[in-house]
Structures are given as C-alpha cells and as structure tokens.
Amino acid sequence: MGRPRTFNIDVAVDRAMELFWRQGFEATSTEDLVEGLEITRGSLYKAFGSKEQLYAMALRRYCQQHAGGLIEVLDRAALVRPAIRAVLLELVEADLADPERGCLLVNAATERSSHPETVRQVSHTMHQVESALAGALERAQVRGEIAADKKPLELAQFLTTFVQGLRVMSKARAGRAFLENAVAVAVRALD
C-alpha cells in the first residue's frame, strides 16, 4: 500500500495552471512542474498520470473559473449592455496588468490546435460563453435594451470572437487606447 498523499490536489492544479498559463504547455517541463507544485516526480505521475493529463485539468480549471465568472455576471446583470461593457473593460485591465500571460484559453487554442482534447475543451468553453451571451442578449431585447431587429445569437457569436481577438491584441501590446476604442466599437454593435 502506498503512502498517503501529502499535498492538496486543488492547490497543485492551480499552481500547474499558473505555470502553463505563463509558459505554455511545451515550455513547461516536468521539472518545472515538480518544482512549481512542490511535489516529487513520482507524486506528479501518481496523482495526475502525465503532463498532458495535468494540463487538461489545469485548462478545465481555468475555463470553469474564467468562463464561469463571465456567465455569472451575465446571468445576474440587471442591465446587459453595461455588464458586457464592464466585462470587456475588465479583460482589458487584466491584460494590461500582465500582457505576457494573456488568456490561457487563447494560448491553448493557438499552441495546441492539433490536440483533440484541448480543442474540445476550448470549443466547449467558447460555446458556453456564446450561449450565455445569447441568453443575456435575448433578455436585453425583451426589455428593450437592444433593438428588436438585432439577432442575439449573431451578436453573441460576434462578441465571443471579439473577446478572443481582444485578448490576442492585448498580448500583442496594442495599448490601452486601442483596446478601449475596440471595446467601444463592440458595444456600439448592440445599438
């Protein structure tokens, strides 16, 4: 019988998420993980199976936290337009504060586009965001916040795409004025 685990799985996944987020999958070595998670190589493999499996867990955690936060904001927003604007500006602020890190979802989509599990997770999360936006925009339309001739699903698809482009432009150091102007134009698409 093996020794009991002496580390917290959730803490380890959070630390791995930070490493993969900052360095990417390929640049994060097993040694980086062992050191960053403060566990032995054997414990790493016993708990997570492989670097690939740990990455999948870390990406899922990121998606739950970040997409879940966006969905929650949209679900509880009294007014949808200001909520969408606030979320977009929050993303700009986060990216300006740490542009090298960017968005783990965007990083995953670009670095690991040939890995089916990563593609599935990214697609699933994008669909969740799109659905939440479409639902919020439908509610906004019923309340008269957006015009009756707008198509909530099309707007949701545009905004989902826009968010990812915004994150890429932030990582490319587009600058505050550029990013805030882009957000203003995106919000005007709801007019």
Percent above pLDDT 90 for the chain:
90
- The answer to the question of residue 51 being in a domain is no
Closest among 18, 14, 17, 4 to 47, alpha carbons compared: 4
Please report which helix (H) or strand (E) contains residue 30, including its range: helix 30-37
- The answer to the question of residue 48 being in a domain is no
Closest among 56, 58, 76, 77 to 66, alpha carbons compared: 58
Model confidence pLDDT, tens digit, residues 44-58: 999 999 999 999 999
Closest among 180, 183, 130 to 160, alpha carbons compared: 130
State which residues form the domain around 129.
59-188
Structural domain count, the chain: 1
Q: CA 164, 165, 171, 172: dihedral to nearest 10 degrees?
A: 170
CA-based radius of gyration for the chain: 19
- The answer to the question of residue 52 being in a domain is no
- The answer to the question of residue 75 being in a domain is yes
Q: Whole-angstrom Cα distance, residue 181 to residue 155? A: 18
- The answer to the question of residue 67 being in a domain is yes
- The answer to the question of residue 176 being in a domain is yes
Q: What is the CATH number of the domain that holds 80?
A: 1.10.357.10
- The answer to the question of residue 4 being in a domain is no
Q: Is the pTM of this model over 0.85?
A: yes
Model confidence pLDDT, tens digit, residues 16-46: 999 999 999 999 999 999 999 999 999 999 9
Who's near 65: CB < 8 A, 6+ residues apart? none
